[in-house]
A = this chain, B = another copy of it.
């Protein structure tokens, strides 16, 4: 059960915001070996590691058209419709993030603007394991398509029959993923980073994964491949007062805890009464859950924080910087406004995290482990890069040139200065 801390003083906070699991250094050399082998031996190394980790021997990794058609036939109609509706909401929200180009005249004749261009080739990793995360396919492939990425590839580990879950294939298909590969783990990250005969290399890799996948992403990032963000176990912080229904608070905590024993859930409240009722509900509801062993494992290193003052609550939340923040509180809007560090915020009693996980339209790929202090969740910008442009007229250069000459000279960069002076001379002659 969750441990309760009543009015912890600020010296204690550092401990209370530290996430349970750390980086496992022992994996590093294994991951390093996998990366190097895939780099040097390509598809042969992929075959070896797929046989080893996924226990299936594949001659080719790509998912064929036939396999996709079979998957489409298998997925139940109601699930297909749900996925299509979620996709439409994700499209609506991410399309709203497209920015118009604004041309700014910073000085007369000096035009500057910023443009967005798609990252041409991106890779998406979708984990296998206990839950088939087709929702993550939507969260990554939909904005990639809106951004205009022209090569979107996806890797996901095969099961022992050499298949990928049909709803993952369906989601990838409707989102316009170009190629899907049956590759998992660090070897999938290596394949997308370096390319093999079968798998094209990409410029940026997205998606969640276990600690091997995360370690591989961090390593290829060092070599210049961009990644979405550093990743840790999922987490939720709920800020609630006694207007909140303890039943709903409990199930919201559990819906994060069921992800895995390494998840963390936190309840911040001014009400000891609410805290007590939530703990009771947790006990009752836990029994109903098929994934109760995960959930109870997570609860064991999770905290209830009782803080009477709203300012302390807000400071604590900003210090914790939760991936998901549910504000089930009479003053939910005001609190939301004062939060600086969080991945995604769910405001009011009717906004459980599940809606954002699947269908409200916001992205569910979010910064964990207090990375929200410096990182955004995935959004349309994650699939683009900004180019700046400047275009000067002769008059514009005459206006700004002398400023540049003075500054360049002061930085001892004389060619920088001469690039201006030589132009100004000729412009003057032509006048």
Contact = CB atoms under 8 A, between A and B. Distances in A.
A112 interface: yes
Given A132-B410, A350-B397, A376-B387, 12 more contacts: A79-B410, A82-B402, A82-B410, A86-B403, A132-B411, A224-B371, A290-B414, A345-B389, A350-B423, A359-B404, A372-B387, A376-B385
B340 A118 contact: yes
A426 B251 CA distance: 14
A39 B336 CA distance: 35
Contact of A385 (B86, B99, B372): B372
Interface in A369-392: 369-377, 379, 381, 384-392
Interface centre among A114, A131, A375 (most CB of B within 10 A): A114
Given A344-B390, A406-B78, A412-B131, A89 B110 contact: yes
Contact of A167 (B226, B396, B410): B410
A396 to B, nearest CB: 7
Given A96-B102, A407-B79, A347 B385 contact: no
Residues of A in contact with B, size category = 35 or more
Q: Is the interface of A mostly helix, strand, loop or mixed?
A: mixed
A222 interface: yes
Interface in A94-128: 96-97, 99, 102, 104, 106-107, 110, 112, 114, 117-120
B224 A400 contact: no
A204 B381 contact: no
A406 B84 CA distance: 12
A430 B219 CA distance: 53
A410 B83 CA distance: 11
A357 interface: yes
